[in-house]
Chain A
Amino acid sequence: MKAMAIGVLAAIAMASLAAPWIAPFDPNALDIANRLAEFGPTHPLGTDHLGRDELSRLLHGGRSTILLAVIATAATLGVGIVFGAVSGYFGGKVDHAIQSLVLLFQGLPRISFMLAIAGVMGPGPFTLFIAVVVTSWADFARIVRAETLKIREEPYIEAVRALGASPGYVMTFYVVPNLIGPMVVLFTVEIGRMILAIAALSFLGLGLQPPTADWGIMISDSRPYFRSAPLLMIAPGLCIAITTFAINLLGDSLRDRLDTRMDGHPVVL
Chain B
Amino acid sequence: MSTATATDPLLQIRGLSVGFPTRAGTVMAVDDVNLSIGKRETFGLIGETGSGKSVLGMAVMRLLPNSARIGGAIMLEGIDILTLDPEATRRLRGGSIGLVPQNPGSSLNPVLRVGTQIGEAVRLHRGVSGREAGQVVHDLLDRMGLPEPEKTARQYPFQLSGGMRQRVLTAIGIAGQPALLIADEPTKGLDAIIRGQVIETLHKAARETKASMLVITHDLQVAEQLCDRVGVMYAGKILEIQTAERLFSAPQHPYTKALLNATPRKGLVPLPGTAPGLFDRPPGCVFAPRCGLVEIACGEDQAMRGMNGGAQVRCRLHAG
Contact = CB atoms under 8 A, between A and B. Distances in A.
Interface of A: 154-156, 158-166, 173-174, 177-178, 180, 263-267
B155 to A, nearest CB: 11
Contacts of B90: 164-166
A206 B26 CA distance: 59
Interface in B162-185: 169, 172, 176
Nearest to B103: A155
26 contacts: A154-B106, A156-B107, A159-B101, A159-B107, A159-B108, A159-B169, A160-B109, A161-B63, A162-B93, A162-B94, A162-B98, A163-B93, A163-B120, A163-B124, A163-B125, A163-B172, A163-B176, A164-B90, A164-B92, A164-B94, A165-B124, A173-B109, A177-B109, A177-B112, A178-B109, A178-B111
B106 A264 contact: yes
A165 to B, nearest CB: 7
Given A162-B93, A164-B89, A165-B124, 12 more contacts: A155-B107, A156-B108, A159-B169, A161-B63, A162-B61, A162-B63, A163-B99, A164-B90, A164-B125, A178-B110, A263-B158, A264-B105
B9 interface: no
A173 B120 CA distance: 11
B156 A155 contact: no
B109 A162 contact: no
A264 B110 contact: yes
A159 B124 CA distance: 14
Interface string B110-138: 11100001001100110000000000000
A159 B105 CA distance: 12
B91 interface: yes
B93 A164 contact: yes
B254 interface: no
Interface centre among B101, B105, B109 (most CB of A within 10 A): B109
B102 interface: yes
B120 A155 contact: no
A178 B108 CA distance: 12
Contact of A174 (B99, B109, B158): B109
A180 B109 CA distance: 13
Query: Which size bracket describes the interface of B in this complex?
Result: 20 to 34
B97 to A, nearest CB: 8
Interface string B125-159: 10000000000000000000000000000001110
B95 interface: yes
A67 to B, nearest CB: 29
A165 B136 CA distance: 19
Contacts of A263: 105, 158
A266 B158 CA distance: 8
Interface in B188-236: none
A264 to B, nearest CB: 5
Given A163-B93, A265-B158, A155 B102 contact: yes
B63 to A, nearest CB: 6
Contacts of A155: 101-103, 106-107
A160 B112 CA distance: 12
Contact of B93 (A156, A161, A174, A266): A161
B76 to A, nearest CB: 14
Nearest to B121: A163
A154 B176 CA distance: 22
Contacts of A173: 109, 112, 120
A108 to B, nearest CB: 34
A156 B117 CA distance: 10
A265 B158 CA distance: 6
A51 B21 CA distance: 76
B26 to A, nearest CB: 20
Contact of A164 (B103, B117, B124, B157): B124
Nearest to A179: B111
A177 B94 CA distance: 22
A163 B108 CA distance: 12
A258 to B, nearest CB: 13
A139 B126 CA distance: 43
The 5 A-B pairs with the shortest beta carbon distances in the complex, nearest first, are A163-B94, A162-B99, A164-B93, A164-B94, A164-B90
Interface string B58-94: 0001010000000000000000000000000111111
A266 B111 CA distance: 5
Contacts of B169: 159
Contacts of B61: 162
Contacts of A177: 109, 111-112
A156 B158 CA distance: 13
Nearest to A170: B109
Contacts of A154: 106
B124 to A, nearest CB: 6
Nearest to B117: A160
Contacts of A180: 111
Contacts of A166: 90
Nearest to B66: A92
